[in-house]
Amino acid sequence: MLVPLDGSELAEHALNPARRLADRFGAELHIVAADVQRDEAWWYQGYVDRLHERVGALTPHVTDERTVGRAIVARARQLETCLVCMATHGRSRSAAIVGSTFAEVASRNTAPLVAVGPRAALGDETSEPPDHLVVCLDGSPTAERALPLAAAWARRLGWRISIVTAVDPVLSPREYGFDPDAYLRDVARRPDFEDLAVDTHILWGIAYPHVSIGQHLDRHPSDLMVVTTHARTGFARAALGSEAARIIHRSPVPVLVQPAPTR
Protein backbone atom coordinates (compact mmCIF):
# COMPACT_ATOMS: atom_id res chain seq x y z
CA MET A 1 0.00 0.00 0.00
CA LEU A 2 1.46 3.36 -1.02
CA VAL A 3 0.08 6.58 0.53
CA PRO A 4 1.25 9.92 -0.92
CA LEU A 5 1.71 12.52 1.83
CA ASP A 6 2.62 16.19 1.82
CA GLY A 7 2.46 16.97 5.55
CA SER A 8 -1.18 18.07 5.46
CA GLU A 9 -4.11 16.64 7.42
CA LEU A 10 -6.01 16.25 4.15
CA ALA A 11 -3.37 13.89 2.71
CA GLU A 12 -3.21 11.96 5.99
CA HIS A 13 -6.94 11.26 5.61
CA ALA A 14 -5.87 8.23 3.56
CA LEU A 15 -3.65 6.67 6.22
CA ASN A 16 -6.30 4.89 8.25
CA PRO A 17 -8.08 3.14 5.33
CA ALA A 18 -4.69 2.28 3.84
CA ARG A 19 -3.60 0.67 7.11
CA ARG A 20 -6.85 -1.30 7.33
CA LEU A 21 -6.50 -2.55 3.76
CA ALA A 22 -2.82 -3.39 4.28
CA ASP A 23 -3.74 -5.44 7.34
CA ARG A 24 -6.48 -7.28 5.42
CA PHE A 25 -4.16 -8.10 2.52
CA GLY A 26 -1.09 -8.79 4.65
CA ALA A 27 0.68 -5.98 2.80
CA GLU A 28 3.34 -3.47 3.79
CA LEU A 29 2.41 0.18 4.28
CA HIS A 30 4.61 2.66 2.40
CA ILE A 31 4.43 6.44 2.17
CA VAL A 32 5.91 8.81 -0.40
CA ALA A 33 6.56 12.55 -0.41
CA ALA A 34 7.39 14.38 -3.63
CA ASP A 35 9.07 17.72 -4.27
CA VAL A 36 11.19 17.43 -1.12
CA GLN A 37 14.43 19.29 -1.79
CA ARG A 38 17.74 18.63 -0.05
CA ASP A 39 17.35 21.48 2.44
CA GLU A 40 13.94 20.06 3.49
CA ALA A 41 15.18 16.57 4.43
CA TRP A 42 15.21 17.45 8.14
CA TRP A 43 11.50 18.25 7.97
CA TYR A 44 10.63 14.99 6.25
CA GLN A 45 12.55 12.80 8.72
CA GLY A 46 10.84 14.44 11.69
CA TYR A 47 7.49 13.99 9.97
CA VAL A 48 8.14 10.29 9.38
CA ASP A 49 9.10 9.80 13.02
CA ARG A 50 5.80 11.31 14.16
CA LEU A 51 3.88 9.07 11.73
CA HIS A 52 5.66 6.00 13.10
CA GLU A 53 4.34 6.86 16.55
CA ARG A 54 0.78 7.29 15.22
CA VAL A 55 0.29 4.45 12.73
CA GLY A 56 3.06 1.96 13.45
CA ALA A 57 5.38 0.34 10.95
CA LEU A 58 5.73 2.03 7.57
CA THR A 59 8.38 2.42 4.90
CA PRO A 60 9.08 6.02 3.82
CA HIS A 61 10.14 7.21 0.37
CA VAL A 62 11.13 10.69 -0.68
CA THR A 63 11.87 12.29 -4.04
CA ASP A 64 12.78 15.74 -5.27
CA GLU A 65 10.61 15.25 -8.39
CA ARG A 66 8.49 18.40 -8.64
CA THR A 67 5.66 16.84 -10.67
CA VAL A 68 3.85 15.12 -7.83
CA GLY A 69 1.61 12.84 -9.90
CA ARG A 70 4.56 11.60 -11.92
CA ALA A 71 6.53 10.92 -8.73
CA ILE A 72 3.69 8.89 -7.19
CA VAL A 73 3.20 6.71 -10.27
CA ALA A 74 6.95 6.17 -10.66
CA ARG A 75 7.29 5.00 -7.05
CA ALA A 76 4.26 2.70 -7.38
CA ARG A 77 5.82 1.08 -10.46
CA GLN A 78 9.13 0.63 -8.67
CA LEU A 79 7.32 -1.20 -5.88
CA GLU A 80 5.74 -3.46 -8.53
CA THR A 81 2.76 -5.10 -6.77
CA CYS A 82 1.44 -1.92 -5.23
CA LEU A 83 -1.92 -0.25 -4.54
CA VAL A 84 -1.94 3.54 -4.26
CA CYS A 85 -4.34 4.90 -1.63
CA MET A 86 -4.61 8.67 -1.56
CA ALA A 87 -6.83 11.40 -0.23
CA THR A 88 -8.53 13.75 -2.65
CA HIS A 89 -8.52 17.47 -1.99
CA GLY A 90 -12.05 18.01 -3.19
CA ARG A 91 -13.83 21.20 -3.97
CA SER A 92 -17.55 21.53 -4.23
CA ARG A 93 -18.26 23.48 -7.44
CA SER A 94 -16.33 21.94 -10.27
CA ALA A 95 -16.17 18.79 -12.34
CA ALA A 96 -12.56 18.60 -11.16
CA ILE A 97 -13.70 18.06 -7.57
CA VAL A 98 -11.18 15.37 -6.78
CA GLY A 99 -8.20 17.69 -7.10
CA SER A 100 -5.52 17.84 -9.75
CA THR A 101 -2.99 15.46 -8.13
CA PHE A 102 -5.37 12.53 -7.84
CA ALA A 103 -6.69 13.12 -11.35
CA GLU A 104 -3.14 13.23 -12.70
CA VAL A 105 -2.29 9.93 -10.99
CA ALA A 106 -5.47 8.35 -12.38
CA SER A 107 -4.62 9.56 -15.89
CA ARG A 108 -1.05 8.23 -15.72
CA ASN A 109 -1.86 4.95 -13.97
CA THR A 110 -3.33 1.77 -15.46
CA ALA A 111 -3.59 -0.04 -12.12
CA PRO A 112 -6.52 0.37 -9.70
CA LEU A 113 -6.15 2.91 -6.91
CA VAL A 114 -8.13 3.90 -3.84
CA ALA A 115 -9.54 7.43 -3.47
CA VAL A 116 -10.44 8.71 -0.01
CA GLY A 117 -12.76 11.65 -0.53
CA PRO A 118 -13.38 14.50 1.89
CA ARG A 119 -16.65 12.94 3.13
CA ALA A 120 -15.29 9.44 3.66
CA ALA A 121 -15.90 8.25 7.22
CA LEU A 122 -12.80 6.48 8.47
CA GLY A 123 -13.01 3.42 10.68
CA ASP A 124 -10.49 2.41 13.31
CA GLU A 125 -9.48 -0.73 15.13
CA THR A 126 -12.71 -0.65 17.16
CA SER A 127 -14.95 -0.60 14.06
CA GLU A 128 -16.90 -3.61 12.84
CA PRO A 129 -14.90 -5.90 10.52
CA PRO A 130 -15.33 -4.96 6.83
CA ASP A 131 -17.56 -7.30 4.83
CA HIS A 132 -19.27 -5.34 2.07
CA LEU A 133 -18.43 -3.47 -1.14
CA VAL A 134 -20.66 -1.61 -3.61
CA VAL A 135 -20.17 -1.58 -7.40
CA CYS A 136 -21.63 1.35 -9.36
CA LEU A 137 -22.89 0.65 -12.89
CA ASP A 138 -24.59 2.79 -15.52
CA GLY A 139 -25.28 0.15 -18.16
CA SER A 140 -22.14 0.94 -20.16
CA PRO A 141 -19.30 -1.49 -21.01
CA THR A 142 -16.85 0.99 -19.50
CA ALA A 143 -18.53 0.87 -16.09
CA GLU A 144 -18.63 -2.93 -16.27
CA ARG A 145 -14.83 -3.01 -16.39
CA ALA A 146 -15.05 -2.71 -12.59
CA LEU A 147 -16.86 -6.05 -12.22
CA PRO A 148 -13.87 -8.45 -12.35
CA LEU A 149 -11.96 -6.21 -9.95
CA ALA A 150 -14.85 -6.07 -7.49
CA ALA A 151 -15.32 -9.84 -7.68
CA ALA A 152 -11.62 -10.49 -7.10
CA TRP A 153 -11.56 -8.23 -4.04
CA ALA A 154 -14.74 -9.73 -2.62
CA ARG A 155 -13.43 -13.27 -3.10
CA ARG A 156 -10.02 -12.46 -1.59
CA LEU A 157 -11.45 -10.63 1.43
CA GLY A 158 -14.59 -12.68 2.01
CA TRP A 159 -16.89 -9.73 1.34
CA ARG A 160 -20.36 -9.63 -0.14
CA ILE A 161 -21.19 -7.41 -3.12
CA SER A 162 -23.97 -4.93 -3.79
CA ILE A 163 -24.43 -3.85 -7.42
CA VAL A 164 -26.23 -0.52 -7.81
CA THR A 165 -27.41 1.61 -10.70
CA ALA A 166 -29.00 5.06 -10.44
CA VAL A 167 -32.02 5.57 -12.73
CA ASP A 168 -34.11 8.67 -13.35
CA PRO A 169 -37.76 7.53 -13.64
CA VAL A 170 -38.72 10.69 -15.52
CA LEU A 171 -36.60 9.58 -18.46
CA SER A 172 -38.52 6.27 -18.70
CA PRO A 173 -35.38 4.19 -19.35
CA ARG A 174 -37.32 1.20 -20.74
CA GLU A 175 -38.46 3.38 -23.63
CA TYR A 176 -34.79 3.72 -24.59
CA GLY A 177 -34.14 -0.02 -24.49
CA PHE A 178 -32.70 -0.16 -20.96
CA ASP A 179 -34.51 -2.32 -18.40
CA PRO A 180 -32.62 -1.84 -15.12
CA ASP A 181 -34.25 -4.87 -13.43
CA ALA A 182 -33.27 -7.24 -16.22
CA TYR A 183 -29.84 -5.64 -16.54
CA LEU A 184 -28.92 -6.09 -12.87
CA ARG A 185 -30.26 -9.66 -12.80
CA ASP A 186 -28.05 -10.46 -15.78
CA VAL A 187 -24.98 -8.88 -14.19
CA ALA A 188 -25.47 -10.74 -10.90
CA ARG A 189 -25.56 -14.09 -12.76
CA ARG A 190 -22.27 -13.57 -14.58
CA PRO A 191 -19.43 -16.06 -13.98
CA ASP A 192 -17.33 -13.42 -12.19
CA PHE A 193 -19.69 -13.69 -9.21
CA GLU A 194 -19.91 -17.45 -8.92
CA ASP A 195 -20.03 -18.52 -5.23
CA LEU A 196 -20.17 -14.88 -4.08
CA ALA A 197 -23.03 -13.27 -2.14
CA VAL A 198 -24.49 -10.64 -4.49
CA ASP A 199 -27.48 -8.31 -4.11
CA THR A 200 -28.71 -5.59 -6.47
CA HIS A 201 -30.33 -2.19 -6.00
CA ILE A 202 -31.99 0.21 -8.45
CA LEU A 203 -31.71 3.75 -7.11
CA TRP A 204 -34.74 5.51 -8.54
CA GLY A 205 -34.55 9.27 -8.34
CA ILE A 206 -34.34 12.47 -10.32
CA ALA A 207 -31.10 13.50 -8.62
CA TYR A 208 -27.70 13.16 -10.27
CA PRO A 209 -26.27 9.62 -9.93
CA HIS A 210 -23.60 10.67 -7.43
CA VAL A 211 -26.31 12.10 -5.16
CA SER A 212 -28.48 8.97 -5.32
CA ILE A 213 -25.48 6.70 -4.76
CA GLY A 214 -24.20 8.80 -1.86
CA GLN A 215 -27.61 8.79 -0.20
CA HIS A 216 -27.85 5.02 -0.63
CA LEU A 217 -24.49 4.58 1.09
CA ASP A 218 -25.57 6.92 3.88
CA ARG A 219 -28.53 4.60 4.55
CA HIS A 220 -26.72 1.32 3.84
CA PRO A 221 -23.07 1.74 4.86
CA SER A 222 -20.41 -0.30 3.10
CA ASP A 223 -16.66 -0.53 3.48
CA LEU A 224 -15.68 0.32 -0.08
CA MET A 225 -17.19 1.43 -3.37
CA VAL A 226 -15.89 0.43 -6.82
CA VAL A 227 -16.14 2.62 -9.93
CA THR A 228 -14.54 2.83 -13.36
CA THR A 229 -13.23 6.10 -14.70
CA HIS A 230 -14.32 7.24 -18.13
CA ALA A 231 -10.79 8.16 -19.12
CA ARG A 232 -10.14 10.51 -22.01
CA THR A 233 -7.05 12.10 -23.42
CA GLY A 234 -6.43 15.74 -22.72
CA PHE A 235 -6.35 17.56 -19.43
CA ALA A 236 -5.56 15.37 -16.42
CA ARG A 237 -8.75 16.42 -14.67
CA ALA A 238 -10.87 15.48 -17.66
CA ALA A 239 -9.24 12.06 -17.71
CA LEU A 240 -11.07 11.01 -14.57
CA GLY A 241 -14.55 11.69 -15.89
CA SER A 242 -16.86 14.18 -14.22
CA GLU A 243 -19.40 11.68 -12.83
CA ALA A 244 -16.71 9.43 -11.35
CA ALA A 245 -15.16 12.52 -9.77
CA ARG A 246 -18.49 13.57 -8.27
CA ILE A 247 -19.09 10.06 -6.91
CA ILE A 248 -15.70 10.08 -5.20
CA HIS A 249 -16.31 13.53 -3.75
CA ARG A 250 -19.76 12.59 -2.40
CA SER A 251 -18.94 9.08 -1.23
CA PRO A 252 -19.04 8.43 2.55
CA VAL A 253 -16.59 5.52 2.03
CA PRO A 254 -13.27 5.08 0.21
CA VAL A 255 -13.60 4.37 -3.52
CA LEU A 256 -11.64 1.75 -5.46
CA VAL A 257 -11.07 3.25 -8.91
CA GLN A 258 -10.51 1.13 -12.01
CA PRO A 259 -8.98 3.39 -14.66
CA ALA A 260 -10.41 2.95 -18.14
CA PRO A 261 -7.97 2.82 -21.06
CA THR A 262 -7.29 6.20 -22.62
CA ARG A 263 -8.23 6.77 -26.23
pLDDT, position 194 = 95
pLDDT, position 196 = 96
74 burial type by CB count under 10 A (0-12 exposed, 13-18 middle, 19+ buried): middle
**Residue 14 and residue 58 in contact, taking contact as beta carbons nearer than 8 Å:** no
pLDDT, position 88 = 84
pLDDT, position 142 = 87
DSSP letters spanning 99-127: -HHHHHHHHH--S-EEEE-TTPPP--TTS
pLDDT, position 238 = 40
Beta bridge partners of 164: 136, 201
* Domains of the chain, first to last: 2-87 (3.40.50.620), 132-258 (3.40.50.620)
Which residues of the chain are under the pLDDT cut of 70? 89-99, 122-130, 171-177, 230-241, 261-263
